[in-house]
Amino acid sequence: MLAKINNFEIDLSKPIDISIPLTNTDENPIAWYIEKPVIEPVIFGDWIGKVSEGKSSTNFNNIFFNPHGHGTHTECLGHITNDFYSINQALKQFFFFAKLITIEPEKIGEDLVITKDQISASLNGTKTEAIIIRTLPNQAAKKSRKYSNTNPPYLSEEAAIFIRESEIQHLLIDLPSVDKEHDEGKLLAHKAFWNVKDTHQLNKDARFEATITEMIFVSDAIQDDDYILNLQIASFENDASPSKPVLYKII
User: What average pLDDT does range 217-246 have in this prediction?
Assistant: 98
250 pLDDT above the threshold of 90 = yes
Among 2-11, 70-79, 169-178, the minimum mean pLDDT is found in 2-11
Give dist(CA 36, CA 28) in Å, integer.
7
Q: Is the Cβ–Cβ distance between 102 and 49 less than 8 Å?
A: no
pLDDT band at 12 (very low <50, low <70, confident <90, very high): very high
Domain boundary assignment for the chain: 2-22+68-249
pLDDT > 90? residue 6: no
Mean pLDDT across 53-69: 96
CATH of 2-22+68-249 among 3.40.1190.20, 3.10.180.10, 3.50.30.50, 3.40.390.10: 3.50.30.50
Question: Is residue 209 pLDDT above 90, yes or no?
Answer: yes
> What mean pLDDT is predicted for residues 4-33?
94
Cβ contact 249:11 at 8 Å:
yes
Query: Is it the case that residue 141 has pLDDT exceeding 90?
Result: yes
The rounded distance, in Å, linking the Cα atoms of 247 and 98 is 8
- Span 151-185, pLDDT tens digits: 999 999 999 999 999 999 999 999 999 999 999 99
- CB 79, CB 200: distance < 8 Å: no
User: Looking at residues 119-136, what average pLDDT do you find?
Assistant: 97
pLDDT at site 248: 98
Strand, coil or helix: 76? coil
pLDDT at 161: 98
pLDDT per position as a tens digit, 90-111: 999 999 999 999 999 999 999 9
